[in-house]
Structure 1
């Protein structure tokens, strides 16, 4: 009598749980735009959500601790003249966020440590280069101040944010709308999927196609693709018979390693930072998150389980691993957008021990960049700088984050003069000079009084 061997996995019993109502963010007018993006970005300090706004586009940025009902008058970031389509926090500075809009522009914003007290209308840098709406943004994973944007003009632009300039413009590769664009682990490659039913791996600095695969999925509906463990490619799409598919690809030969026909309602994949886990985020109107484990041996992709809820989602944010609660064996945290609220969903591996679980938390990507923008554009590739989560994120990275924050402010304000009106900065300097003059007059008067007494 043969006995079935059960595959061992530390992620087998991962389970998802929504946080209680008082830990959600309520009464938020989430954007009703039908554009297909996450509509949410999150890091260890803030959660940002695209919201409805009259007369332009806006998004809200809340400190993670500001849960409960959000007042209708809470300040927003509202400098765009058209609806905001995508937002993403910088991985190297938790106070910096980029936004792309229907007004064809990309804007970079600085959020104060304590959150917004008044609405932001003036960006740190405004990046103009697209001729149609900008729907995809992605910061470089290891190079400081490098941002990728993709628009409905079928163009991918790589920006040096510190200088406010477009360094690489990839405008002759994609013949139709770009559905997805992402970096690999060290940012030496870009992976795109397009309405022309082609998946491409690009050299980002040269703008050339290294590998391409036509019709990775036969169906006519949108294809999404991401890099996962060991540089493999995971794509999602539909068969000719409109059956939903997940496929794993060899990035060198683009041979299909696996076709996994599963009943999923997804538009994108969210790879776990260490590659073992991949989560499928549902499209707008669906409600389930499914998760898979990617291994080195056939059949490569193993379906684990699913988190499901009654309410459909409008968008989804994904917390970087450095922002998770390691003492609770939390391996992922999603921020699910509903019509009027944002609901955190925690994915946990059940463990009885209170000790740090090293197998769940190998060293992970920290906020320190491996290269500056100029170095990267000149050809430098460097792996991400890893940090340990054993003693907690805050104690490990606070000094580094402040350093990165200061350097970004210095370079962006110096280079943004040609991009925006500097009247606010001039007024601030004039006020400082006026205050210094007043202080000097007061000191002079005081010295005179003391001299007269003597």
Structure 2
């Protein structure tokens, strides 16, 4: 990660959690151990995997129903096993796919009477079988309508034509469970990470394995995200020593990553989310409350800032760009699963007080319209996503989309053989719509004058040539009143402008304080890293006498302490508890070492040195926190 300070429009993006009353409560979110986000969202709904007793279910809640969910709210319940993943169609906000442990994929339509409905939704539009084991991921194609990628624990990815209920291609070659899948921006390629520690890229239509390389070496799994239309991938995972990492890859060569970045030492999976409109990569850790974000430029990830919360996240869903609040300069919105019963929206905004559309931070984004039909796509046609001018979202609010495309009522048997796609001429990309110019707002005097003229035109001819003195007096009185009102509005406008200038000065001062705090934070992290190296050296000295499991146990406890220091949560009581546990581990190792004659004295001396180093680390952490306070 580049450490220099760069000029960026998104440098001061900040995250704000919604108030409690605007969150979604009284949910029963799944506690399944499968690595999933648990939640997905679009401009109409938020959906969560449900903790159902027997069988599998998920819940779809309209965004307007924030608060405590009623106990009899309907579920989508037809799976015989736990639901592991859900995904809303990018082209129809009422269509959602679900994959479950029962080896099935189901396609559903959200009923119009969902808010008033009491009985569960138990009849999907379509059930897709053919998977040998549980279904872990369902991901819609971003360009072609009704094309769905499904990964399974049978070590395959199947590409479905949902409109016909047919498997069009099966991607093979995996040696273990598939951990993550992602389409590229025009839906022609699929990237996948696997527990066999390989990163692979496939041609989704021919099934050809285009690239393969060794990814993160840790055993805890990894995830992948495409960096928009660039020939680049970002992966998150673990090193052999459980360091959490982010790699950036050239999709034409997976022999080695073009950049590596170590985040911290913690046990939770890192969830990557890339916003192609802003070139910002958000990285959120499971089991902690941090969302870090980086701007990708010049083959580097530049750190922007970090959202921190005392409540750890189990999973995250992200709002499509067409659903953000453009008028409030909101660039991203996440939906955070912070407990087994709560989903908390988090809004990320650029700190601007603007009353007009900010085109520099809101370039065109996917419009929620398909560029290709499934038939065109599987015939070999290519197209980029259809884009919308975000000024339309600024003027009209979140864009809701729907589709009348047919969906098969039953899945067709898989074809005996797959014919390679025929290259077709790409269709012409639709031109993004241009936002309409908002109507001018009339001043009070203009409005009054217009109404008076209209009355004159509507009056009889005799009245038009002979206006009574009473009418003239009434007209003059109205104009005087309007002039006074206009002057009052001008004064109010001047007062508001002065308040705005004062607020802008305060914002500049706050930004300066933030920059100073970030510099202090960086110094504290550097000191923590130096202390960590000292501890690592001491632990390596101990490796000749203590067992590998003991050293690993000590390291994991120490990793947790370092994570707490790095996040500067200020909870020194927890740090002290971790040090006590660390001492207990070292004491146990010391007792075991004493059983070995001839080395007991040396080992005891080294262990005491390690304890002193741990105490020094805690003192350094306290000093770093005090300096920031």
> Are the equivalent residues in 1 in contact too, given 2:171–2:202 (CA < 8 A)?
no
> Are the equivalent residues in 2 in contact too, given 1:275–1:294 (CA < 8 A)?
no
SS in 2 for 1:256: coil
The size of the alignment, in residue pairs, is 403
> Are the equivalent residues in 2 in contact too, given 1:228–1:275 (CA < 8 A)?
no
Choose between structure 1 and 2 for higher RCO, CA contacts under 8 A separated by at least 6 residues.
1
Match of 1:312 in 2: 312
Deviations, residues 325-352 of structure 1 (Å, cap 9, x unaligned): 0011101101111221111000111012
**Greater Rg, structure 1 or structure 2?**
2
Match of 1:388 in 2: 389
Match of 1:429 in 2: none
After the TM superposition, which residues 235-314 of structure 1 pair with which residues of structure 2 at under 5 Å, given as runs?
235-254=235-254, 255-263=256-264, 265-274=268-277, 276-283=279-286, 285-295=287-297, 297-298=298-299, 300-314=300-314
Closer, same or farther: CA 418–236 of 1 in aligned 2, 3 Å: closer
Match of 1:416 in 2: 409
Instruction: Output the CA distance in 2 between the equivalents of 1:114 and 1:311.
Output: 34
Deviations, residues 154-191 of structure 1 (Å, cap 9, x unaligned): 110001101111111123x1111111111000011100
Shift of residue 218, structure 1, vs aligned partner = 2.4
> Are the equivalent residues in 2 in contact too, given 1:63–1:114 (CA < 8 A)?
no
Shift of residue 360, structure 1, vs aligned partner = 1.1
Shift of residue 305, structure 1, vs aligned partner = 1.5
Please state if 1:180 is matched with 2:173.
no
Instruction: Output the CA distance in 2 between the equivalents of 1:350 and 1:202.
Output: 41
Closer, same or farther: CA 25–143 of 1 in aligned 2, 3 Å: same
Match of 1:212 in 2: 212
Please state if 1:93 is matched with 2:86.
no
SS in 1 for 2:132: coil
Shift of residue 89, structure 1, vs aligned partner = 0.2
Q: Which consecutive unaligned segments of at least 5 residues does structure 1 have?
A: 420-454
SS in 2 for 1:371: coil
> Are the equivalent residues in 1 in contact too, given 2:295–2:303 (CA < 8 A)?
yes
Match of 2:345 in 1: 344
Instruction: Output the CA distance in 2 between the equivalents of 1:102 and 1:245.
Output: 29
SS in 2 for 1:269: strand
* Structure with greater strand share of residues: 1
Closer, same or farther: CA 160–5 of 1 in aligned 2, 3 Å: closer
Instruction: Output the CA distance in 2 between the equivalents of 1:335 and 1:86.
Output: 15
Instruction: Output the CA distance in 2 between the equivalents of 1:341 and 1:401.
Output: 27
SS in 2 for 1:391: helix
After the TM superposition, which residues 354-373 of structure 1 pair with which residues of structure 2 at under 5 Å, given as runs?
354-373=355-374
> Are the equivalent residues in 1 in contact too, given 2:325–2:398 (CA < 8 A)?
no
* Structure with greater helix share of residues: 2
> Are the equivalent residues in 2 in contact too, given 1:323–1:393 (CA < 8 A)?
no
Instruction: Output the CA distance in 2 between the equivalents of 1:145 and 1:33.
Output: 28
- So what's the TM-score if we normalise by structure 1? 0.85
Deviations, residues 232-261 of structure 1 (Å, cap 9, x unaligned): 111111222221111111111234221111
Match of 2:75 in 1: 76
SS in 1 for 2:122: coil
Shift of residue 393, structure 1, vs aligned partner = 7.2
Match of 2:583 in 1: none
Cα RMSD after superposing both structures: 1.9
After the TM superposition, which residues 418-433 of structure 1 pair with which residues of structure 2 at under 5 Å, given as runs?
none
Worse overlay, 234-243 or 118-127: 234-243
Closer, same or farther: CA 196–418 of 1 in aligned 2, 3 Å: closer
Instruction: Output the CA distance in 1 between the equivalents of 2:113 and 2:394.
Output: 18
Instruction: Output the CA distance in 2 between the equivalents of 1:35 and 1:69.
Output: 27
> Are the equivalent residues in 2 in contact too, given 1:266–1:280 (CA < 8 A)?
no
Instruction: Output the CA distance in 1 between the equivalents of 2:167 and 2:121.
Output: 24
